[in-house]
Structure 1
Amino acid sequence: MKKNKSNVVNICLALLLLLQALLLPVICSAEQMYQITETELTELEQNSNRQLAISSQLAAELHIAKERLKVSDQELTEAKLQKELLKKQLTELEALSKNQENLQKEILKSLPPSAPGVLREVGLKIDVEKYVRGASYGVSKCIFNNKYIGLRGEYDWKDKKAGVWLTYAY
């Protein structure tokens, strides 16, 4: 029985080997082999060289862009520092301006009041008997250091006369 078993196993192995020997060439010949011609190989080489050149150019441009970005970042940092410095200076100048404004206000308060540039006067002419006999109106303009020159007109009701006066005040 053992012999029969071993014969069956040997026959199966022999059949497998025969089957493999018959099918192996069919399996291998099912795939077509493609051979590259010399012109195709040259074209592939040229395409590869072009792609390498483009890749090198892109790498160089990337390097330049990185350098520009680095410079731009430095300039941005410098601009931010400059902005902060200018803000600080502006704050200082605003404080200084406010102090000067306050000092000017204090100085103006401490000065004696000055006369206005134009003076106007209204007057009444009174007689010895203590009644009003006329009226006057005048305008004077400051010419220098609280010195005024002006013109005054008057009318006397009793005498029915008008008069004009040139005035100087100091």
Structure 2
Amino acid sequence: MKVRLEPYGQVNGEPHPDHPAYLNGARNGKALLEREFGRSTTQLTSHTFHALRVDILREMEAKFDEAFYRTIHNRFRSPNDISVTSYLHSHYCVLSGKGIADDTPVWLVQANHRYQRRLRKLLERKNGGRRLPLSLCLNDGKNSDNDRAWDTAVRGFLNTFFPNPSPFEK
């Protein structure tokens, strides 16, 4: 199994109620992995599709039963949760020898990541016949739902990048 890790998303520090749920979940998973394997993980997983193996999920649930139980039974996200399907599963696979890190190009574009430049580069790659990323995540976090410039740029990009409707669109 190949696992994609983000080159810039660092997991450090302790969980904190004012920090994002994804980061606290990764921090809690990192602590479990350090206890289990004696090694520290630091990279967030990529914003792309993730293959999950049911046997590994069951194995992790048996090893980390208290953390799974706590996360499953929280009505809302909590700073004590673990991020099972992204952070924990991916890193567990690599550390247990049941997966390998993969460097297949995937792109994350966010409103706070110089998005206009990145969208322009993607269009240049496509128009120039150059290799495109395996997947592309146009992440709408960081209050981008209230950002008209982001909305306009993303809609323009999508209409240019995908000028023809797919057979699944009406």
Identify the TM-score tier after normalising by the shorter chain: under 0.3
Query: When you count helix as a share of all residues, which structure comes out higher?
Result: 1
With structure 2 as the length reference, what TM-score do the two structures score? 0.11
Please state which structure has a larger fraction of its residues in strand.
Answer: 1
**TM-score, normalization by structure 1:** 0.11
Specify the structure having the higher radius of gyration (Cα): 1
